[in-house]
Structure 1
Amino acid sequence: MFNRNTGIILAIALAAGLGLVLAQKVFGPSSQGTHDSSSIIFYGTPRTLPEFDLAQSDGTRLIPGELRGHWTLVFLGFTSCPDVCPTTLTELAQAQKQWQSIPDSLRPRVVFVSVDPERDTPARLGEYAHAFHKDTIAATADVPSLERFATSLGMLFQKVPGKHFEENPSDYSMDHSASIAVLDPQGRLAGLMRPPFNPQAIASDLIKLTENTAP
């Protein structure tokens, strides 16, 4: 059944496209939105995320309250990703360096969530993410929890077996959404960023958003 990978990938892409259309209808994004931004598509009404509980690389739990007080960018991926993940994390790291002077209590957060818990232990995930930027939060969970979390962000992921999967269960890759979810300081889903990403624009937008929402 694994020779239908192409069909699976197309189905995921279609579902992702439909998901974006649905999100636009539900959340009402606007080209104007409530913020002036060049990198973010804002939803008309931020959405409160359902409860989630992920394991961080430092051994603590990532729960909704941990992200409050900061603008947060959430990106799904996995450490064996050949191109999209390292490219995106590099671009995000370039943006992170530009807001480094913002006090830690307000500084925007970047969260990298692995959708490959079978291979990405919290320790391995932390080493990978922190190689791009030391402030990146790295987390993962069991597959059902990850599916609920990804769905709440309007994102998808799918395990894609390789040619030798039956002989070698580690021969697989992960298809996943390439967009970045944007959470506001209340921890609500406020918008998204779609590739290609511009680190300078991301940094500029997050700096302005932080300044505008600082107490």
Structure 2
Amino acid sequence: MALTDDAITRLRTMIQLGELPPGSRLPTEAQLSTQMGISRSGVREAVKVLEAARVLDVRRGDGTYVTSLAPRLLLEGLGVAVELLRDDTLMEVMEVRRMLEPAATGAAALRMSDAELDELGQILEDMRAAKDDAERLIGYDAAFHRTVIAATGNETLTSLLDGLSGQTLRARVWRGLIEGNSAHVTLSEHEAIYLALRSRDPLLAQASALLHVNTSESWLRTVLSAA
């Protein structure tokens, strides 16, 4: 493990220093082993770890390449991690969302195109039509917030918030809302967010998003307590 960790560190350093820029092909396993003074098995295991982290792309019969290192790739595993969190740590995820999502929504109010606003309006209509169907609502809810956050143009923020808003988390909130006959409340909150965005008012959009995250957080706490 120590040799593998050393090989991972060295490969990461080469990438960070630009010796292996995005899209570049790595030297062969034998060349890396000689260059780093590490056994080939250590290099091989390091490549596997970095491949799983979406830093490297192993193309069978072609070679190993550095990926684009885009945020959507490197943060892809965050969503998987969130899905595995225990109940007592899910509230921490909601706290992070409360810190980030309102600010992102405020920024989106100044950056959304008319076409994106029209798309968001259609998603809102779809949510209203599916107000009693938790599974459909989960999908529309995710699409609504993804559209808003993507409009910031910040791929890192989009990937981060997408990972923090996993399907399991959304399912728990929406099922709790439907069972508690309160789905109409959060649907109204989505409409308030939409209207604030449509009016290009960043402060109102931020406040509307904060209220919505607080509602979701409150209902998640209720669901977890009942469980």
Q: Which has the higher contact order (CA 8 A, sep 6+)?
A: 1
TM over 0.5: no
Give the structure with higher Rg (CA). Answer: 2
* Larger fraction in strand: 1
* Larger fraction in helix: 2
